[in-house]
């Protein structure tokens, strides 16, 4: 081995010992190796008991998010060379329950994601003979940025409000709600208002902005949340002053998942 770098991993093996502990490994400092490559090397050559998630190795699947030197990062897109001379400290994503080693429990996030109904909700029933549901480039542009979210949960790790308030629905879920709210084919705003206006909804955000800084896909959840606050405040006053004018939930049933 020519050049090496030390990797400190926060291990958690609940069947062996109740508390997490640190374990250090030394891996080759290969050019262009990501932190994920180092973990794969450890598992293949040094310690087969190490557990972590990964899948695509190209910044698309959103599985390999971990804390690298205290910052949430996709480990496939974070390179060893940037951390010379080391050591590099790797921990499971902050603000999540840890199941084992670097593997977090995603159930809470999945539940929150589902609560904002991130799918197309349409008023009219359409079938295959109706053909394509065409959109202009401008209509696509209105929400395209929010479609780039890969559900990697880095924004949940970066967000102090998520850490303080377990009810907060969180940055990615609100950005994905907005992805459908701004889609001209969708008419599910009313159903989403019920979650986003409630306790734990968008107004729990205190506008810190860490989610947008952490986002590897430049979705800008902060911007999505701020835009929602303006829309949601209008809806709140409508419901307060003239409930009949408020966006009535027409339909929650006809569902097409397009992404």
Which one of 8-16, 32-40, 102-110, 195-203 is the stretch in contact with other proteins (CB under 8 A)?
Answer: 195-203
Place of tokens 């998520």: 162
Site string for other proteins, 130-169 (x = CB under 8 A): ------------------------------xx--xx-x--
* 209 lines the binding site for other proteins (CB under 8 A): no
- Number of residues written out for the chain: 259
Q: What is the C-alpha separation between 232 and 225, in angstroms, rounded?
A: 10
Closer by beta carbon to other proteins, 68 or else 169: 169
By CB under 8 A, is residue 171 in contact with other proteins?
Answer: no
165 - beta bridge partners?
A: none
**Total number of residues that touch other proteins (CB under 8 A):** 25
* 26 Cβ contact partners less than 8 Å away, ≥ 6 residues apart: 4, 5, 6, 7
Residue 55 makes contact with other proteins by CB under 8 A: no
Of positions 33, 79, 119, 203, contacts other proteins by CB under 8 A: 203
Buried residues in 7-41 as b, exposed as e (16+ CB within 10 A): bbbbbbeeeeeeeeeeeebebebbeebbbbbbbbb
Residues 86-115 that bind other proteins (CB under 8 A): 115
Q: Is 124 exposed, middle or buried (0-12, 13-18, 19+ CB in 10 A)?
A: exposed
- 3-class DSSP assignment, residue 256: strand
Give the shortest CB-86-to-other proteins separation in angstroms. Answer: 30
Contact residues toward other proteins (CB under 8 A) are 115, 160-161, 164-165, 167, 195, 197-201, 203-204, 206-208, 229-230, 232-233, 235-237, 240
């Amino acid at each position: 081995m020519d050049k090496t770098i030390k990797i400190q991993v926060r291990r958690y093996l609940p069947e062996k010992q109740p508390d997490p502990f640190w374990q250090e490994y030394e891996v080759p400092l290969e050019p262009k190796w990501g932190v994920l490559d180092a973990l794969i090397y450890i598992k293949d050559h040094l310690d087969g008991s190490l557990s972590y998630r990964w899948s695509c190795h190209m910044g698309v699947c959103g599985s390999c998010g971990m804390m690298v030197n205290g910052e949430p990062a996709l480990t496939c897109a974070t390179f060893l060379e940037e951390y010379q001379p080391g050591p590099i400290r790797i921990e499971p994503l902050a603000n999540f329950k840890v199941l084992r080693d670097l593997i977090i429990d995603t159930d809470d996030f999945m539940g929150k994601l589902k609560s904002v109904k991130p799918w197309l909700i349409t008023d009219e029933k359409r079938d295959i003979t109706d053909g394509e549901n065409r959109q202009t480039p401008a209509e696509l542009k209105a929400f395209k940025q929010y479609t780039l979210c890969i559900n990697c949960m880095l924004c949940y790790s970066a967000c102090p409000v998520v850490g303080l308030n377990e009810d907060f629905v969180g940055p990615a879920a609100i950005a994905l709600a907005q992805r459908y709210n701004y889609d001209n084919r969708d008419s599910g705003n009313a159903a989403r208002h019920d979650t986003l206006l409630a306790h734990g909804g968008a107004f729990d955000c205190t506008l810190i902005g860490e989610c947008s800084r952490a986002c590897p896909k430049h979705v800008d959840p902060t911007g999505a949340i701020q835009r929602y606050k303006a829309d949601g405040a209008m809806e709140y006053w409508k419901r307060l002053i003239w409930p009949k004018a408020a966006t009535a939930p027409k339909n929650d049933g006809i569902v097409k998942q397009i992404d």
